[in-house]
């Protein structure tokens, strides 16, 4: 190590080349990094979907879900299985255990499902796929006075133009039903020609084909034999033969059925600002840059609008707007913080030294970009926040090294020798202090939960920067100091610099020195102060003065209004209620505009979607509004406040099954409760009890449950005489399904769209119970009978979907908070003590548990306890090895809980809640505060080794270490200061983490400078008491480990 450091100092060109290489490589990697809102994560889930056309949720559950769950149960690497049985579709989500090989689990699932042979005949082949990252970049509405066909053509053309652009690969259209060929037959025509649905479908699929018949190989040439009979238009189907006879008569399809191309029966439609619309949703993959994607989309929107068409394009959900604001905000605060750091360095050091020390910041950043580019990570709000945290930390080791070099030079060493000896002397202290910080950030790599999947990027940024800061401090900084004006003797002292030095001496001699002496004379009183403060802050948290929540509310520039009416509601009624809500939105908008000085509209647009919503509703009874708002900085009002005003204006909606207003948090709704049981009756009873209890909690709103009652049903029961005629219930229901649901004859690929060909009754014959009863059913023996003579028809009530979790039926209840800033833990505790207790007392066999944010919080907390405990133990053992003293290591570690005083007071003063990000800030704080403690205790030990008395050694260490400790504290605090004081709404979710570090370090430094010396003295008093019990009365200094080591070294 000595040879390497000496070489870099003696030959400064080495350090210059190294610096240029890192700068150049870092710049290349930085320019090639993609941008994203949050870090891009690979979801740990595998999805299995099995279409089952025409099946009810009960049929899907019994025929598919239960069999798949039994097959997958016990597979290695599977943490949890959640399934949903909907009409026509079974969907299973498999959560993969952390640490398991996802590709292996995926292969095991495919192999297990391939071995199933008992799935229903009408069920399609299972589709098994791994969830891939696709983040929404922007949504564009094409809207105007146009019909479906025009909108479809324009939207598909717009989509194709986007996909032609480099950097865009994922574009999905929303709001357009698919086209289909509908072959509508009547009961009369089937009887007239003696046909069945199956025969008509077989004629279509067998006649509308392209087939290859092999090849003909002649002496001269080889020919391919083909039959080209496939058509894609209505006219291509009309002449298809359905039946022929020996006499040459042919029955063609146009004689039997009405063939038309139409939009499929699907209520999904979109309106924007009251006009028909299609949404063009553009996603980004991991390899694409979200800022580039959005820029291309805006260019295409402008080109589209320049055509002067009645249909206009508008970007209605641009995720990059918030990203740009946040990136600009963090860059601004980072640069401002860096400027404050440089000013602080100049304030405590001379101008030349401060310049070379500050140069370590960009060097470390460019080095970090090399590592980040190799991993790789994106430029996002999390990685940028890591850069802001580390700005002030980066110069700590450089400050210590440069100060020691100066000390050697002041004692008479020439510049090169001073640089070599000063650097070598500080290698182990600096490595120890940096190692403690790295160990403190290491748990970020091993945290569970969704938040843990991206917070590790903070640790990567910090650790990479610290690693390169060590390189700069040991190899580059000493060379620059040795060969610059920094160590030149006899230089004229600037008058400003002289005043600064005088001010620092005043702080040291006139303020800190007498205060430290007083503290050392009254050590117990000094130690009681932080102990009392710990009790105060504990009371503040327990008493609710400082709130608690899992994750801070992140506001946005839009929010949804979700509506689900009772099952069976007509599409026209759902749309009418949505329009009524939209009118209430307009009224609230006018009120908000009238209250603003600029009269600007706060709500900039409304998109209405029919047929689906965010609550899982699908069908004619479901819909939602997406309310677009001014940017957060312009409206000066949280979105949930606006949503609450709209809710009050709307009031009750007749027939609503669920109605919610406002955004859902990043990790789900704050209150999410799952009920699981194998007994459906007990499960429904538990749901009713829980709903009743939740409605009594004043802090909750928008209470919903996933157990939605389905549409009214006509239940067919086979009559005894039907069985005697040879009918089975399967024979009857399969023919009813063919007529009413339809029989899919073909699936054709027409261009980029799939075209399905259906054979079914016409709309008239599917519109009354009488027509159903008059339907003719063919028996296996060829007999034909009226349906009403074969079955009894009764009324029933179905369900929309059936949820399972780990093999049990599941009902999920969710609720939002009236005030998003309310303290969540007391609310959840109250629900647990009342609602959970009521369910336990009045039901049996029902499992109740919190999901959503609460489950994530539990996973995060458990992993933090595990990983942080290991990191603390590792840091403690490292300190024990460095100081060879359990007591001194424990003394330094006592700074960690004491620094929490500043954390809690900082949150209280800023009026923000403690949350998971605050906790991550505390983890980062532990590494920083321990570093200052190492420097202080190390100096005390050095003084004791030099022969100083105990009190003089402690007092002298305080005076000599005041400057570097204040400097490291100020650089870190000033680096985060602009973000802590930021009023922008875009920064609110990052501020808790910054407050934890800045205020914790600020208060921790005060405790370090006054309480740590008294703790050292108290630790010595304990040693003296033990010595007296052993019959010895040595001087205080002789009991210190550093002095004992010195005596041992002399004996050796």
226-283: pLDDT as tens digits: 888 888 898 989 988 988 765 667 888 999 899 999 888 777 889 998 899 999 999 9
For residues 99 and 114, give the distance between their C-alpha atoms in angstroms, rounded to a whole number: 25
Give me the CATH topology for the region 872-1052. Multidrug efflux transporter AcrB transmembrane fold (1.20.1640)
Name the maximum alpha-carbon separation found in the chain.
Answer: 129
What percentage of residues in the chain have a pLDDT greater than 90?
Answer: 25
pLDDT band (50, 70, 90) for residue 299: very high
| CB distance 101 to 131 below 8 Å | no
Give the pLDDT confidence of 504-542 residue by residue, as tens digits: 888 888 899 999 999 999 999 999 999 999 999 989 888
Q: Which of 27-36, 336-345, 886-895, 929-938 has the lowest mean pLDDT?
A: 336-345
Q: Which of 55-64, 571-580, 729-738, 1030-1039 has the lowest mean pLDDT?
A: 1030-1039
Mean pLDDT of 953-965: 87
The predicted structure's pLDDT at residue 143: 93
| Residues comprising the chain, all counted | 1052
**pLDDT, averaged across the chain:** 85
Residue 490 in this model has a pLDDT that exceeds 60: no
In order, the DSSP letters of 852-901 are HHHHHHHHHHHHHHHHHHHHHHHHHHHHHHHHS-HHHHHHHHTHHHHHHH
The predicted structure's pLDDT at residue 463: 92
Instruction: Output DSSP code: residue 379.
Output: B
The predicted structure's pLDDT at residue 1048: 65
Mean pLDDT of 347-353: 71
Structure tokens at 163: 């996909």
The predicted structure's pLDDT at residue 221: 85
In 529-654, which ranges are E strands?
558-565, 603-612, 618-629
Buried b (16+ CB within 10 A) or exposed e, 193-222: eebbbebbbebbbebbeeeeeeeeeeeeee
Give the pLDDT confidence of 25-46 residue by residue, as tens digits: 999 998 888 887 777 777 788 9
Q: Which of 974, 960, 812 is nearest to 392 (CA)?
A: 974
pLDDT band (50, 70, 90) for residue 487: low
The predicted structure's pLDDT at residue 924: 75
The predicted structure's pLDDT at residue 640: 83
Give the pLDDT confidence of 378-409 residue by residue, as tens digits: 888 788 878 877 776 777 778 778 877 877 87
The structure's pTM equals 0.76
The predicted structure's pLDDT at residue 486: 63
Is it true that 1-32+349-487 and 559-699+812-849 share their CATH fold?
Answer: no
Residue 666 in this model has a pLDDT that exceeds 80: no
3-state secondary structure 180-240: EEEEEECHHHHHHHCCCHHHHHHHHHHHCCEEEEEEEECCCCEEEEEEECCCCCHHHHHCC
CATH pick for 42-132 out of 3.40.50.1000, 3.30.70.1430, 3.40.50.1860, 3.30.470.10: 3.30.70.1430
- Give the three-state DSSP class for 521: helix
pLDDT band (50, 70, 90) for residue 952: very high
414 torsion bin: left (phi>0), alpha (psi -120 to 50), beta (else): beta
For residues 339 and 328, give the distance between their C-alpha atoms in angstroms, rounded to a whole number: 16
The correct answer on CATH 1.10.3720.10 for the domain covering 559-699+812-849 is no
- The torsion angles phi and psi of 750, rounded to 5 degrees, stand at -110, 100
Residue 211 in this model has a pLDDT that exceeds 90: no
Q: Pairing mode, if any, of strands 179-185 and 753-761?
A: parallel
Residue 1051 in this model has a pLDDT that exceeds 60: no
For residues 48 and 113, give the distance between their C-alpha atoms in angstroms, rounded to a whole number: 10
Mean pLDDT of 860-868: 81
Mean pLDDT of 764-789: 87
Residue 1042, CB half-sphere, CA atoms under 13 Å: how many? 22
Give the pLDDT confidence of 795-835 residue by residue, as tens digits: 887 777 888 988 889 998 988 888 776 777 888 888 988 99
For residues 831 and 541, give the distance between their C-alpha atoms in angstroms, rounded to a whole number: 20
Domain boundaries, the chain: 1-32+349-487, 42-132, 559-699+812-849, 872-1052
Cα 622–chain centre separation:
27
Residue 1010 in this model has a pLDDT that exceeds 80: yes
Residue 743 in this model has a pLDDT that exceeds 70: yes
Give the pLDDT confidence of 966-982 residue by residue, as tens digits: 877 887 787 777 778 87
Mean pLDDT of 161-174: 90
Q: Which of 968, 904, 919, 984 is nearest to 333 (CA)?
A: 984
For residues 1045 and 1051, give the distance between their C-alpha atoms in angstroms, rounded to a whole number: 10
In order, the DSSP letters of 57-126 are HHHHIIIIIHHHHHHHTT-TTEEEEEEEEETTEEEEEEEEPTTS-HHHHHHHHHHHHHT---S-TTPPPP
Superfamily holding 1-32+349-487: Multidrug efflux transporter AcrB transmembrane domain (1.20.1640.10)
The predicted structure's pLDDT at residue 465: 92
């Amino acid at each position: 190590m000595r040879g390497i450091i000496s070489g870099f100092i003696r030959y400064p060109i080495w350090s210059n080349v190294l610096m240029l290489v890192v700068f150049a490589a870092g710049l290349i990697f930085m320019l090639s990094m993609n941008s994203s809102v949050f870090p891009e994560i690979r979801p740990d889930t595998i999805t299995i979907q099995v279409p089952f056309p025409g099946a009810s949720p009960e049929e899907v559950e019994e025929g598919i879900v239960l069999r798949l769950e039994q097959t997958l149960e016990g597979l290695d690497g599977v943490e949890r299985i959640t399934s949903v049985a909907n009409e026509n579709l079974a969907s299973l989500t498999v959560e993969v255990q952390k640490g398991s090989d996802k590709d292996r689990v995926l292969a095991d699932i495919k192999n297990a499902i391939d071995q199933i042979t008992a799935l229903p005949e009408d069920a399609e082949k299972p589709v098994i796929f791994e969830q891939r990252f696709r983040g929404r970049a922007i949504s564009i509405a094409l809207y105007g006075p146009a019909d479906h066909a025009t909108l479809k053509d324009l939207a598909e053309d717009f989509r194709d133009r986007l996909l032609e652009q480099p950097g865009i690969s994922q574009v999905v259209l929303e709001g357009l039903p698919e086209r289909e060929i509908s072959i509508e037959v009547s009961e009369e025509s089937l009887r007239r020609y003696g046909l069945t649905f199956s025969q008509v479908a077989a004629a279509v699929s067998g006649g509308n084909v392209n087939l290859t018949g092999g090849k003909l190989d002649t002496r001269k040439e080889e020919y391919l034999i083909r039959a080209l009979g496939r058509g894609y238009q209505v006219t291509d189907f009309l002449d298809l033969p359905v039946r022929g006879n020996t006499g040459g008569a042919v029955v063609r399809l146009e004689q039997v059925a009405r063939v038309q191309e139409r939009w499929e029966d699907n209520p999904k439609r979109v309106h924007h600002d009251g006009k028909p619309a299609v949404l063009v949703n553009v996603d980004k993959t991991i390899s694409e840059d979200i800022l580039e994607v959005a820029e291309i989309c805006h260019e295409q929107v402008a080109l589209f609008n320049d055509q002067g068409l009645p249909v206009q394009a508008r970007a209605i959900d641009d995720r990059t707007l918030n990203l740009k604001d946040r990136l600009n905000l963090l860059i601004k605060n980072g640069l401002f913080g860096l400027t404050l750091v440089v000013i602080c360095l100049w304030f405590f050091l001379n101008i030349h030294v401060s310049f070379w020390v500050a140069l370590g910041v960009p060097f470390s950043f460019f080095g970090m970009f090399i590592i980040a580019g190799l991993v790789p990570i994106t430029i996002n709000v999390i990685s940028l926040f890591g850069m802001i945290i580390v700005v002030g930390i980066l110069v700590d080791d450089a400050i210590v090294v440069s100060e020691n070099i100066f000390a050697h030079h002041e004692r008479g060493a020439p510049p090169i020798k001073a640089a070599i000896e000063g650097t070598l002397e500080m290698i182990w202290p600096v490595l120890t202090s940096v190692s403690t910080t790295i160990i403190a950030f290491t748990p970020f790599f091993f945290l569970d939960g969704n938040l843990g999947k991206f917070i590790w990027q903070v640790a990567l940024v910090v650790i990479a920067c610290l690693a390169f800061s060590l390189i700069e401090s040991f190899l580059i900084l000493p060379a620059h100091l040795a060969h610059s004006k920094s160590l030149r003797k006899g230089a004229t002292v600037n008058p400003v610099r002289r005043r600064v030095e005088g001010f620092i001496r005043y702080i040291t001699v006139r303020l800190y020195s007498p205060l430290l002496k007083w503290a050392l004379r009254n050590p117990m009183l000094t130690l009681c102060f932080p102990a009392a403060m710990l009790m105060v802050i504990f009371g503040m948290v327990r008493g609710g003065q400082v709130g608690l929540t899992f994750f801070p509310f992140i506001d946005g520039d839009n929010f949804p209004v979700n509506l689900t009416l009772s099952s069976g509601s007509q599409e026209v009624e759902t749309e009418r209620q949505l329009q009524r809500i939209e009118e209430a939105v307009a009224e609230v908008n006018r009120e908000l505009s009238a209250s603003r000085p600029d009269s600007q509209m706060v709500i900039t647009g409304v998109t209405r979607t029919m047929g689906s919503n965010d609550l899982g509703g699908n069908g004619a009874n479901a819909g939602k509004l997406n309310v677009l708002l001014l940017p957060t900085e312009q409206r000066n009002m949280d979105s949930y406040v606006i949503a609450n005003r709209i809710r009050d204006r709307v009031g009750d909606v007749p027939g609503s099954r669920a109605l919610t207003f406002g955004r859902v948090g990043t990790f789900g709704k704050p209150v999410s409760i799952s009920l699981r049981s194998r007994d459906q009756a007990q499960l429904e009873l538990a749901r009713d009890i829980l709903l009743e209890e939740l409605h009594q909690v004043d802090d909750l709103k928008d209470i919903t449950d996933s157990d939605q009652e389905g549409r009214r049903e006509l239940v067919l029961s086979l009559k005894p005489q039907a069985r005697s005629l040879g009918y089975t219930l399967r024979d009857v229901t399969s023919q009813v399904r063919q007529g009413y649901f339809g029989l899919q004859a073909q699936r054709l690929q027409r261009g980029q769209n799939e075209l399905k060909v259906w054979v079914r009754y016409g709309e008239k014959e599917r519109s009354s119970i009488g027509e159903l009863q008059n339907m003719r059913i063919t028996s296996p023996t060829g007999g034909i009978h009226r349906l009403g003579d074969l079955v009894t028809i009764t009324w029933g009530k179905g369900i929309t979907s059936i949820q399972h979790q780990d093999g049990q039926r599941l009902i999920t209840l969710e609720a939002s908070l009236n005030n998003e800033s309310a303290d969540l833990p007391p609310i959840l505790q109250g629900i647990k003590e009342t609602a959970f207790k009521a369910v336990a007392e009045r039901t049996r066999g029902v499992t109740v548990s919190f999901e959503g944010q609460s489950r994530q919080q539990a996973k995060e907390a458990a992993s933090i306890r595990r990983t942080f405990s290991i990191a603390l133990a590792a840091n403690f053992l490292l300190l024990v090895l460095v100081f060879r003293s359990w007591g001194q290591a424990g003394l330094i570690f006592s700074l960690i809980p004491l620094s929490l005083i500043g954390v809690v007071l900082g949150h209280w003063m800023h009026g923000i809640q403690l949350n998971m990000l605050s906790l991550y800030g505390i983890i980062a704080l532990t590494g920083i505060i321990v570093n200052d403690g190492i420097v202080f205790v190390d100096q005390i030990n050095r003084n004791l080794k030099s022969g100083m008395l105990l009190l003089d050694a402690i007092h002298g260490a305080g005076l000599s270490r005041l400057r570097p400790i204040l400097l490291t504290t100020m650089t870190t605090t000033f680096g985060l200061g602009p973000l802590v004081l930021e009023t922008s709404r875009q920064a609110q979710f990052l501020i808790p983490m910054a407050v934890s570090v800045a205020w914790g370090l600020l208060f921790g430094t005060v405790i370090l400078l006054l309480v740590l010396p008294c703790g050292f003295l108290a630790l010595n008093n304990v040693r003296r008491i033990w010595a007296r019990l052993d019959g010895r009365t040595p001087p205080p200094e002789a009991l210190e480990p550093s002095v004992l080591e010195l005596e041992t070294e002399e004996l050796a």
